Each structure stands twice: as structure tokens, then as C-alpha cells.
Copies of this chain bind each other. A is one copy, B any other.
């Protein structure tokens, strides 16, 4: 079973966090929603989530993918936290994948994790600071181990891409049918 770690810092964007957690669990992926600070984490629109774990308990575990939801305050906390930089660097060096959405692409940049010429996207509000990379306006961009996306309105598309990467295209197809993601679904 694939293992995914989701980083929840105060101010995380709720749709971006919950959509990926929910869809990946539907796909049979084991997802750990980890609080960076306190175990009860308040999102950007005041939804309070009780995390599955705290940083100290999982920092030495290994995961197939680490996901950073957006939210400006959350991104700033993730970007400023050297423990998060260390965790992500070790994870990448160990062959793991990283997904980031919305403002959080900037946290990957702040920790020096994006190689020169990386193909990325982000929320338009932080795009100016990321123009040194190959910045795309696609809704989901996959470049090797780095997967980026744009905002709450692209969270479902990101979740489905991650489900396909971690659980296969047949699983993605089944999820799309069950969740009615497409305008032409039954």
C-alpha cells in the first residue's frame, strides 16, 4: 500500500487538503495527515481538523509522496520551518515524490528543492517569484518527482493525478465514476 504524508500547518487551504486526503484514501492509499505544530489545526477558512499525527512521531518514517496543501499562512509556516526543509530534502534524496498546490509551490522554492529549469505551476498570486523556473499555467504539472497544481479549483484534478500515479489508471477511472467528477458521468 502506498504511503502519503500530508503536511497541515495553521492556515492550510481546506479544500486542497481534504480533497487529496479523501480521494487517496478512496484509492486505497494510506494517508497520514500530520500536524506541523498543534494536533488540532485550523484551516484558512476556519475549519479545524484533528491531525492523525504530529511531526515528531513521523519524521523518520518513509513515504512514497509528501503533499503540501496551499493557504498563504500555511505556506509561510512550511517555508520558514527548517524541520520541513530537512524532511522534504531527505524524502527527495530517498527517491520520494512531492506534490504541492497553490501558494505551497513557493515553499519548495524557499527550501531550495526545485532544480533549475523545473517545470512547475502554482497559484497565480505567487507566480512572479517562480518565473526563474519553467512556469506553466497547466492545472497539474508533473516533472519527475515534483507534482504541482494551482488552487482549490484544481484540487480534484491533482488528487486524481496522484491517485493514478499511486494506484493506477483503473483505480482513477473507478473513482471518477463513483465521485461523478465528469460532466458526462452517469
Question: B-contacting residues of A (Cβ < 8 Å)?
Answer: 13-15, 18-19, 21-23, 25-26, 33, 40, 43-50, 52, 123-124, 137, 139, 150-154, 156, 176, 178-183, 185-186
A47's contact among B18, B44, B137, by CB below 8 Å, is which? B18
**Which residue of A23, A139, A152, A183 has the most chain B CB atoms within 10 A of its CB atom?**
A152
Which chain B residue shows the least CB distance to A160?
Answer: B153
Task: Pick 28 A–B contacts, CB within 8 A, sort by A.
Answer: A14-B18, A14-B21, A15-B15, A15-B19, A15-B23, A15-B156, A19-B19, A19-B152, A22-B43, A22-B44, A22-B47, A22-B152, A25-B46, A26-B45, A48-B50, A49-B49, A49-B50, A123-B180, A124-B180, A137-B186, A139-B180, A150-B180, A151-B178, A152-B179, A152-B180, A153-B156, A153-B181, A153-B185
When chains A and B are docked, how far (Å) is the Cα of A152 from the Cα of B46?
21
Beyond the given A15-B156, A18-B47, A152-B156, could you list 13 further A-B residue pairs with CB under 8 A, ordered by the A residue number?
A14-B21, A14-B22, A18-B19, A21-B45, A22-B43, A22-B47, A48-B49, A150-B180, A152-B179, A153-B156, A153-B176, A153-B185, A154-B180
Minimal beta-carbon separation of A139 from chain B (angstroms): 7
When chains A and B are docked, how far (Å) is the Cα of A26 from the Cα of B13?
11
Residues of B within 8 A of A33 (CB): 47
Minimal beta-carbon separation of A100 from chain B (angstroms): 15
Contact status B18-A186, CB under 8 Å: no
Minimal beta-carbon separation of A122 from chain B (angstroms): 10
Contact status A21-B47, CB under 8 Å: yes
Minimal beta-carbon separation of A90 from chain B (angstroms): 27
Contact status B48-A183, CB under 8 Å: no
Residues of B within 8 A of A183 (CB): 139
